[in-house]
Structure 1
Amino acid sequence: MKRRLATSLAALLSAAAALSSCQASDDQGPVNLSKGVPVGAVLALTGNANVYGQDQKIGIELSLAALNAAGGVNGKPLFLSIEDGGSAEPSANAAFTLQINRGMLALIGPTLSQQAFSADPIAQRRGVPVVAPSNTATGIPEIGHFISRVSAQSSVIAPLSIAKALQLNPGIRRAAVFYAQDDVYSTAETVIFQQALTAKGLKPVTVQRTQLNDQDFQSQITAALNQQPDLVVLSLQAMDGGNLIRQLRELGYRGAIVVGNGMNTPNIYPICQRYCDGILIAQAYSPELATPANQRFTAAFAAAQARNPKVSPIPPQLTAQAYTAMQVIGEALARLDRSKPLKGLKVSQARRALMDEILAGTYQTPLGEIRFTPEGEVIQKNFFVAKVRMNPDGKSGRFTLLP
């Protein structure tokens, strides 16, 4: 596996380098509409974060189908190019460069905040709009004018799950915190969680540091349990977080567990299995939101998943956010093309004008109504807290929204 990933990355870097010499002329040339209006995506389809990238790929492709079925960009179809950005910074950088050099008018991605801090500056320097579907760390839009996101930042969402845990369990007095110290997202989110705990009068009794590739957490869990916590708060990704929860329960912990956005995917179910039951997580998406946009999305998702009866027909947040990112770009392109036909624009002109359209719009999406600040931060009205309910098979479940 490592050899295959290394070979894939080497090929991606080589392709990006080969195209880089012609970047200036490509940027100044006309928009290439031969295959449709070009939009690129860079997703984690391999590596530790591939469980997120696969969810996102489904959402983007569903959104693309919906947009093109409705006429695309004023009769011109959208053309989508998806590149594997892997789960590390170099692979995301190479994929961004490759997509930009191909003449994509906008990019969706990358999957991880840690990748975004490395890859987004490439797009910013080249003047390419980026709509991030899942980057929640503080400071993403501040990278530059061309960077925006549809994923609300952790500082808005994370405190909601702490408040809900205390509402459900007013007797909670002792909180243990775990976070992955080698992950930008996790280190940023744990600060927010700890501030939320302090604001509620709960100073963590222990803070345990882990690594993304850790599989055995017995020493950290034992140290935490010695402090007799009645709340455990995790800022981890799906694989390491799922394993930690399973081991935490196996070692006897029976109290409340709050997890962050890194575990906001049904892909945790096969990892922590029955031990996932009861964990709390704040969410920026509800499949139960009764709006026309969300009802169309959930119906399309269920229809697509019907081919695989083992897969839940209920869309996860990452899929909804990726769908939304593609929708935002598609609608902004349609508005731009009506005022400034893409056929007459240079690539660089189209990219600059598209960024202005993205920031100016209001969008009715599966997440509810959203718009953007001038800096590219998403403005969203609806947020939720869910509790995981596992099915009797111990391998499947759902996020059940709490009142």
Structure 2
Amino acid sequence: MEQVGVVADLMDEIPSRKKQIQLLVDLFGQKNHYTCPALYIFGHSATGKSLIINSILTKLELPHAIVNCVECHTQRLLYEQILNKVAGYQADPSNNYGCYARCDNANDFMRLLKSAIAERGAQEETVYIVLDKAERLRDMEANLLPGLLRLSELSHCNVCVILISQLVWAKFRTGTGFAEPIILHFPDYSKAELLDIISHDCPPGYSADFYSSYANLLMSVFYIACRDLNEIRHLAFLNFPKYIEPINKGLLTQDNAHKLWRNIEPHLKKAMHTVYLREVSSSQWERYQEEDCEQPGVLTCLSSRSKVELPFYSKYLLIAAYMASYNPAKTDRRFFSKHHGKIRKSSKANPKKDTSSQLLGPKAFALDRLMAIFYSIVDGKVSATANVFSQISSLVTLSLLCQVGHDDQLDSPRYKCTVSLDFIQSIARTVNFDIIRYLYDFVQ
């Protein structure tokens, strides 16, 4: 009956995870029951993995140790952290912030784990060792992960190791000796489930239906761009004061949903720029909403930064493509060769020079020319790998470059750069490259 009450409480606290909660509670059983030696839980971030495991172990009062692998970058730190949690050892000034015991290898860990469980008085109970961010274990010694999966067998203790990660289990298989764990997947929340969870965050003084209506409007804007629960919750909390501003001023009531939506819609569209990028902090965004005016540089920064989130080499490839599109091919030696010789000035007027390339538009260029300029301007030596060439395809997919010519010209594809001068200048500033010095139209 105790487990039935715990399951009911957890389902009320953590909605949309009934199946996973019931399965884990049935799997853990009673304190003195033997359970599976290893359990692997995976899913994207903000899907409730760590929250549900921690809540079940705490509410059922099962002996457990929860360790974040990000904090343990070596095998020794991981072993000592597990022993500290299993033994209930607290680092404080009285013990000089030490650890339960020094542990350098797997043999010492097995021996000390038995001692820690015995001191805790949990010999007859299952001890759960939870390793969050378990993908970090792949960067440690090769024998660590197989040993943890067989920890119950090797230590002769009633131990269950729970690994929590965002990766699928296939990413962990590196050789023999693995004991296959029980695998449990936490799927992403659907739109209806996200709406249900966010509706539970209703602030005091407002009805659940009113906040649910606000959450539905918020989801209609952000769901296409962002499906992370933590991000959407943050945005809902951040923009709610602006949504209820007409109500606080006495201009509208909670029943005027249409007018409230018209008031908040432009602010939500501006907030789209802050998803994941965080160019402005929460306090800055709240201050901007309170002042109800555009702060100098805030929205300009958002709109420009949202366009230049490209990989490092993709930025240089785009810069090289712009110069190849707007510089005559004969000037490449002048700009990119160290020993280009003396530049001769012709006394004859050049009618073509009177028309700027910026007005004529981009010219097509060959892939070989693009790569030659790229290798001339990029810092350090870059090998011609498939990774570099795949980034050219990505730029074409993003419509920053366009491929010209016939489809059957596979040996020498030709491209054009489709971005503006302001855009490429903002790109160049992010890598500290002065592109104006390398453009033919701006050189005297």
TM over 0.5: no
Q: Which has the higher strand share?
A: 1
Q: Which has the larger radius of gyration?
A: 2
TM-score, reference length from structure 2:
0.23
TM-score, reference length from structure 1:
0.25
